[in-house]
Amino acid sequence: MATYGELARVIAEEIAAGRLHEGSPLPALRTIARERSASQATALRAYRALAEAGVVTTEERRIGHVAPGGVLAAQRYLRSGAIFRLAGSDDPALLALVASVRAGIDLVSTAGSFAGLAALQDGSADGATLHLWHVSGTYNAPYARGVLAEPLLVHLWQREAGLIVAPGNPHRIRSAAGLAGLRVARRPVGTGARALLDRVTAEEGIALDAGDPEVARGVDVALAVASGSADAGLASRGLAQRFDLGFVAVSWEPFAVALETGAAGGLEPLLRSLRDPAMRARIEALGGYDLTRSGETEQL
């Protein structure tokens, strides 16, 4: 008797090969169970696994259908067991969100927005998280258009970025202009936080010391300030709150996932968790997150 995993792969192969098209109705549970020598419970579990992967859509007591983007989702399912590979920006809320998803999402890298776009372009990721300002004055969209054939942006949240400083702000920093002569912890080139820091210091005519500490992650910026090895650094408000540090607001930035339109179904497990009120409350409690537009999509 076929297992649900074997049955799910058979259905995914039919969809990936184009024998079942996007929008096509799925065989009834009784029919596919009989044809594949499986129980109806097994067939139902197979359909649920494919729905979790964005390959099909299902509704209680209704015939399911091949999902929009189901062909690409089926190919991904066959390649990596339904895992949607996500790469890009390092973000505390993103880490919490991915950890809440029981299956279907793999955070393959948090090396920064530029690295996420590179992974998306070379095929080692299915989606890239980014928060990148463009010289046109817009965020994210020009970068997605630059690396994708049919680009889609899925908005996750707005995130408040600013200068993390010691408790009480002993250097009386009010803006990037106040960083002159101080030790500033910086993220590597290619991260959204470094791009924002470079932009706001350039606007103030400030040249930071090349010998200032460079750290890998946003949390390392906060740790550098908390430990006294840096006087300030640019990161999210939530990280300042976590370590009881001061914060000087600089900007609210849209944090989004860039992906091919046809791959959108694979992101559904993440978005499903993001719609959960308990998860939303958990993210908002981190500080500096606005979820008003969460889940909105932008076809580019």
| Domain containing residue 75: CATH number | 1.10.10.10
pLDDT of residue 289: 98
**Same domain, yes or no: 247 and 179:** yes
pLDDT of residue 5: 81
- For 67-96, what is the mean pLDDT? 85
CA dihedral 241, 245, 248, 249 (to 10 degrees): -10
3-class secondary structure per residue, the chain = CCCHHHHHHHHHHHHHCCCCCCCCECCCHHHHHHHCCCCHHHHHHHHHHHHHCCCEEEECCEEEEECCCHHHHHHHHHHHCCCEEEEECCCHHHHHHHHHCCCCEEEEECCCHHHHHHHHHHCCCCEEEECCECCCCCECHHHHHHHCCCEEEEEEEEEEEEEEECCCCCCCCCCHHHHCCCCEEECCCCCHHHHHHHHHHHHCCCCCCCCCCECCCHHHHHHHHHHCCCCEEEEEHHHHHHCCCEEEEEEEEEEEEEEEHHHHHHHHHHHHHHCCHHHHHHHHHHCCEECCCCCCEEEC
**Same domain, yes or no: 44 and 74:** yes
**Same domain, yes or no: 224 and 263:** no
Q: Give the chain's domain count.
A: 3
1 pLDDT higher than 80: no
**Same domain, yes or no: 125 and 113:** yes
- For 164-182, what is the mean pLDDT? 97
**Same domain, yes or no: 201 and 71:** no
Q: Which of 230, 252, 274 is the last residue of a domain?
A: 252
pLDDT of residue 69: 82
Q: Which of 79, 94, 126 is the last residue of a domain?
A: 79
**Same domain, yes or no: 151 and 262:** yes
CATH number for the domain spanning 229: value is 3.40.190.10
**Same domain, yes or no: 89 and 211:** no
Instruction: Report the predicted TM-score, pTM, of the whole model to 2 decimal places.
Output: 0.76
Q: Determine the residue type at 214.
A: E
**Same domain, yes or no: 54 and 187:** no
pLDDT of residue 81: 56
**Same domain, yes or no: 179 and 219:** yes
**Same domain, yes or no: 173 and 228:** yes
pLDDT of residue 64: 85
Q: 119 is in which domain, residue-wise?
A: 82-156+254-299
**Same domain, yes or no: 271 and 127:** yes
**Same domain, yes or no: 175 and 248:** yes
- For 279-291, what is the mean pLDDT? 97
